[in-house]
Structures are given as C-alpha cells and as structure tokens.
Amino acid sequence: MNIILRLLSLCFYPSAISFIKASEINAESYELDRVITLPGQPSSPSVSQFSGHITVNEAHGRALFYWFFEAQSEPSKKPLLLWLNGGPGCSSIGYGAVVEIGPFTVNKNGEGLHFNPYSWNQEANLLFIESPVGVGFSYTNTSSDLTMLEDSLVAEDAYNFLVNWLQKFPQFKSRDFFISGESYAGHYIPQLAELIFDRNKDRSKYSFINLKGFIVGNPETENYYDYKGLLEYAWSHAVISDQEYDNAKKVCDFKQFDWSEECNEAMSVVFRYYREIDIYNIYAPACRLNNNTSSIAHDSNNNRGSESVPEGRNDYRLRRMRLFGGYDPCYSIYAEEYFNRIDVQSSFHANVKGENTSVAWKTCNGSILNTYNFTVFSVLPIYTKLIKGGLKVWIYSGDADGRIPVIGTRYCIEALGLPLKSSWRTWYHDDQVGGRIAEYEGLTYVTVRGAGHLVPLNKPSEALSLIHSFLTGHNLPTHT
C-alpha cells in the first residue's frame, strides 16, 4: 500500500521525483501522510500537501496535528517556515492555514476551498501545527494534561513535535528553519526558539534544528506594555472619552498581575465600547452573522466560557476571556463547517483521536483559555538573549488592531534598549504607503497600514512582501 501511495503521489506531483532523489531518503516515511486532494479543492494549480498526527509524549498519549505544504516552486531550495496561532486555544489551521497564509481559503458555508494567490508557500515550505493539545485535531489521552497547560509545556511539546516531524521528513533537517505567528504566539514563538537555541548547544544529547530566526505579528509580549498600549490606543483612536481614559489611568497599575476592583471596573468600560466594534480591526465592518456584531460574538462566546470559570480564578483570566486573542466569528464559522465534514476529516487524516471519542472541531477551544496557567508575564528577556545569540528577529503590527496595538508593541521594543540602526521611515507597496519600518541592532519592526490583528487576512499582498523580505533579506521598498 505504501508503494502504491508513493507511485500515485509521484504521478500527481512529478516535481517530487527530483526532490526525493536529491534527498536520498525513504519517501515511505512521510508518503502515508500525503493528502491527495481535499473535498472542494481547486483542480489547479497542484499543491503538494501532507497532514497527520505527530506524537509528542508517548506516556501520556499526546499528539499534535499538522498540515504541511511544500513550496510552490523549488521546495528543495527554500526554507522551512512554521506558523503558530495563539489564543491560547486557537487553531493554526483554522486561522493561519485557511484564513491567512495557506494556499487555500475556505468558502462561505464551508462548501469548499479557494486557491490563495498570496500564500506564503510561494516563499517557503509551510508548516502549521495545532498547539497545544486540545486545540483542533490535536489530542491527549491523559485528561489531566488539559489542566496543566502553560507556556513551558507548550514549548516542550512543540519542540518534540519538530524533532519527530523532522524524523518523518528528514530532507528538511538541514534546511534553514524559521518560526512565524501572531497574537499569543508572541509567547509561544520566543519560548520555542529559546528551547531550540539552548538544546542546539548540546548535539550529543539533542537533535539539531537549524533555527535561523522568527517573526511575530501583533504579539503579546509584556503584560504591562500590552495593556498600557491597549488603553492608550482606545483613547487615541476615539473609542473612549477623555474622562474614561483619565479614570483608568488613575486607578490601573498594569504592572500588577491582579487588577484592583477599581481598575477592573474602569477597563470593563473600555471593553464595553469595544463590543460595539471589532477590537481586532477597529475600522473594519463588524461581522453580522447570526445577528451579532463581531465583538458581540466575541463576548457571547467568551461569556459561555466565563460561566464555567471556577471560583477563585483571578481577574486576569476573566479579562482575557473578554478578549480571546485572534478570534473572528465569521471566518470561524466557515472553517468549522468545513473541518467538521466527515469527508474532509477522512481526506485530511484527522478522524483518529487516539483513545478519545470524536469531538467537534473548533477554531478556538474556549475551555483551554479557562484552564490555561498564565505564568509568564514578559518574554522580553528572551528577546534580549536570542538577539545576542544572533537570531534574526522581526516584529510586525497591523496598525488598526486594538487588541495588541502598535503603541504597546513600540513600548516593548523601546524597553529592549537596542541601538537604532535606521530610523522610522515609510515602506511602499504598489506605489502606496505599506506602513513604517525601523531597524535596531538585532531587531526589525514593521507596521502594516490599515491591517488589524490578522495582518495577512486584511493585507495579503503586503504580508507576502513582508515575509519575502524577512526570508530573503531583500529590503522592503522605501520609495515609489
């Protein structure tokens, strides 16, 4: 059967022949995971894709689900790029893959797929994983794992995934490797990068992963600056009044993990105004599916989660539930309708859940946010360490995002104290202002004009230019 699958794949994807020969590997290690075609997939262009589960902890029966696309051209020469979404609890397949940067986007009503002309697999071999366990098709056979989720466990599982995935796809072991993502992946990505960086120092004990750098979009980075920026952005963009802003500034100390009752009340006013619009893209039309605005849908979903919060949970968890990172109800509905189809799951190698019974696939699992243990309040020290270690680091911000706004991210970058190489200037795209760019010693910061929290969704062509510049070293154009 393996031989038949391999032969079929080479018929459908003749470019894979030279790739396999050049790699001198046993293709059977991964051909069982090849996706021949998905229901509703466009007949052209051809897309070489794989998906399945990779075990990350045998003792507990933990496995992460992945979806991988070879680069559209010269896959043997292009880097490997991992994409992670945040939440925590949101699917990189439900957002990154079929809403933002993958070669397919989901049709309305989940009826099929469109080809995405702005897919990042034009620039790299593109890998998505659903992380942590409990997200999407990723699972654990040890239910207590779901109550122990926190950043270090997520990083460990992601690291083990990469080691085991590279055993299955050994042709990528020596390939330049980069990590990308957005939102709460602003925590996942630096911590995974740090784990790889540290373990690469001991090749006698750990597998070497050829990590070169990472790029994060609208990232949660440091609680103090992120929430200070959220408040200031709401005021400076006419979401709240002068009086409400002054009151919140007076009663809130965002350096404290547990907000005071007065601060909770003041920030509830901010969140209430944001429920009238979409905090993730403040100038975009609100989603009206099911007669809900985008932000009301955010809130109604999260209130269901809030109702099940055990007594004694602190207000930090509750305020995060009001602002589920990366959640968008319109696209969530389309993706959920598609990936809950039995024919899709069968073609996708996703209808096996270990010892667990099958559960509905969701773009975001609210119960993970309910039980996630938030113990890391700042990843800025990791930035300092990895920049000194020589990794390539980029941060980008959609400037219409109220959730992780450009203001807070600029505060975070300033706090690193990096020498400035090239001052704030304009970059252009199609003869229009694409955004602004500033270069520091070891870090590049780019804004994307008019984009919200999901930059590749709002500005797909600009986002493709951005990742091209990051991966190739070609400068973004700074003149028309």
Co-location of 300 and 354 in the same domain = no
Range 37-62 average pLDDT? 94
Same domain, 64 and 103: yes
Whole-number average pLDDT of the chain: 86
The reported pLDDT for the residue numbered 204 is: 94
* Per-residue model confidence (pLDDT) at position 42: 93
β-strands 49-57, 34-35 pairing = antiparallel
44 C-beta neighbours (distance < 10 Å), count: 6
Residue 75 three-state SS:
coil
Q: Is 187 a catalytic residue?
A: no
Note whether 161 and 39 are same-domain residues.
Answer: yes
Of the ranges 134-138, 364-368, 476-480, the best mean pLDDT one: 134-138
Q: What is the pLDDT of residues 1-16, one digit of tens each?
A: 444 444 444 444 444 4
Work out the burial of residue 273: count CB atoms within 10 Å of its CB; fewer than 13 is exposed, 13-18 middle, 19 or more buried.
Answer: middle
Mean pLDDT on 32-44? 93
The predicted structure's pLDDT at residue 101: 97
Specify whether 99 is located in the same domain as 183: yes
Q: How confident is the model at residue 419 (pLDDT cuts 50, 70, 90)?
A: very high
Residue finishing a domain among 331, 346, 365: 331
Do residues 191 and 283 share a domain? no
Convert the pLDDT of each residue in 262-307 to its tens digit.
999 999 999 999 998 889 999 987 766 654 333 323 332 332 222 2
Within 169-307, where are the H helices? 185-199, 223-236, 242-251, 261-274, 294-307
Both 51 and 188 in one domain: the answer is: yes
Active site residue 183: yes
Q: Is the pLDDT of residue 355 over 70?
A: no
Exactly one of 48, 138, 183, 295 is catalytic; which is it? 183
Q: Does one domain contain both 279 and 293?
A: yes
Catalytic position from the list 53, 187, 349, 453: 453
Name the residue range of residue 184's domain. 33-223+332-480
Query: Pairing mode, if any, of strands 420-429 and 432-440?
Result: antiparallel
Q: What is the pLDDT of residue 352?
A: 62
pTM here?
0.88
How much is the average pLDDT of 210-233? 97
For residue 341, name the pLDDT band (cuts at 50, 70, 90).
Answer: very high
Q: What is the dihedral of CA 179, 413, 426, 429, to 10 degrees?
A: 20
Q: How far apart are CA 180 and CA 125, in angstroms?
A: 12
Q: Are residues 37 and 164 in the same domain?
A: yes
Q: Alpha-carbon distance 364 to 88, whole Å?
A: 8
Question: Which of 270, 299, 331 is a domain's end point?
Answer: 331
Would you call 397 a catalytic residue per the annotation?
no
2 and 52 share one domain: no
Which pLDDT value is given to residue 262?
96
Length of the chain counted residue by residue: 480
How many angstroms separate the CA atoms of 392 and 386, rounded? 9
Domain termination residue (choose one: 308, 331, 354): 331
CATH of the domain at 77: 3.40.50.1820
- For the chain, the domain total comes to 3
Do 235 and 317 lie in one domain? The reply is: yes
Residues 265, 305 within the same domain: yes
Give the mean pLDDT of 334-341.
91
The residue annotated as part of the active site, out of 157, 328, 401, 429, is 401
Q: Which of 376, 372, 374 is nearest to 145 (CA)?
A: 372
One domain for residues 172 and 286: no
The whole-number pLDDT of residue 21 equals 41
Q: Tell me: the pLDDT tens digits for 100-155?
A: 999 999 987 778 999 999 999 999 999 999 999 999 999 999 999 999 999 999 99
Residue 185 has pLDDT above 90, yes or no: yes
- 344-371 b/e (C-beta count within 10 Å ≥ 16 → b): bbebbbbeebeeeeeeebbbbbbebbbb
Q: What's the average model confidence in pLDDT over 462-472?
A: 98
Instruction: Give the pairing type, strands 177-183 and 211-219.
Output: parallel
Edge to edge, what strands does the sheet with 432-440 contain? 34-35, 49-57, 62-69, 125-130, 80-84, 177-183, 211-219, 392-398, 443-448, 432-440, 420-429
Please tell me the predicted confidence (pLDDT) of residue 24: 43
Percent of the chain clearing pLDDT 90 (strictly above): 75
- Reported as a single tens digit per residue, the pLDDT across 426-452 is 999 999 999 999 999 999 999 999 999
